[in-house]
């Protein structure tokens, strides 16, 4: 049984409070990418971080930011490990994270139904006017994790954090 010490909990909260480098409205904890923090020895911490997409270029900036925050908290030696399993899913984004995405003008991902694929009938709501009358322009957008949509009511284009 692995137990988490009070220090580890404190460090996990600190690592989780780091803002996402590309979506700074979200913290890494809200994005669901910090998988755990362990003290290996006094003054030596190891952090498990998982990428959203395998090729996500933000992971290096995230690692550097986590190291800096933990150094500032008096941990001289910090290692950030990239872990792939279990694979990250958009379901790992917290409810607060979804709310912030929407407020920032990005439609949040729809939840997966159990293990199956996302039903295509579920509409994506426009983050600007709230209309559910929106259309897909491209499944790929400004970053790997987003799709480009347009609202047919207010005519504004917007990013949608696509389901993964």
The mark string for 89-128 relative to another protein (x by CB under 8 A, - otherwise) is x---------------------------------------
Residue from 39, 31, 28 nearest 6 by CA: 39
Q: Which residue of 141, 159, 160, 161 would you call a contact of another protein, by CB under 8 A?
A: 141
According to DSSP, residue 119 is labeled P
Strand ranges inside 63-156, DSSP E: 77-82, 106-107, 134-138, 146-151
Residue 128 CB neighbour total at 10 angstroms: 15
Which segment (20-28, 32-40, 67-75, 81-89) binds another protein by CB under 8 A? Answer: 81-89
Q: Which residue of 68, 71, 99, 139 would you call a contact of another protein, by CB under 8 A?
A: 139
Residue from 121, 93, 96 nearest 109 by CA: 93
The mark string for 21-60 relative to another protein (x by CB under 8 A, - otherwise) is ------------------------------x-xxxxx---
Contact between 84 and another protein per CB under 8 A: yes
């Amino acid at each position: 049984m692995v137990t988490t010490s009070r220090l580890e909990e404190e460090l996990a909260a600190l690592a989780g409070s780091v803002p996402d480098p590309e979506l700074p409205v979200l913290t890494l904890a809200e994005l669901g990418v910090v998988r755990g923090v362990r003290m290996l020895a006094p003054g030596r911490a190891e952090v498990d971080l998982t990428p959203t997409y395998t090729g996500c270029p933000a992971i290096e900036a995230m690692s550097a930011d986590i190291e800096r925050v933990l150094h500032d908290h008096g941990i001289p030696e910090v290692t950030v490990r990239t872990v792939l399993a279990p694979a990250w899913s958009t379901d790992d984004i917290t409810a607060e994270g979804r709310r912030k995405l929407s407020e920032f003008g990005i439609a949040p991902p729809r939840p997966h139904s159990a293990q199956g694929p996302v039903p295509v009938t579920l509409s994506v709501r426009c983050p600007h006017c709230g209309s559910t009358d929106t259309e897909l322009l491209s499944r790929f957008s400004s970053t790997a994790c987003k799709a480009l949509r347009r609202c047919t009511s207010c005519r504004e284009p917007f990013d949608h954090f696509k389901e993964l």
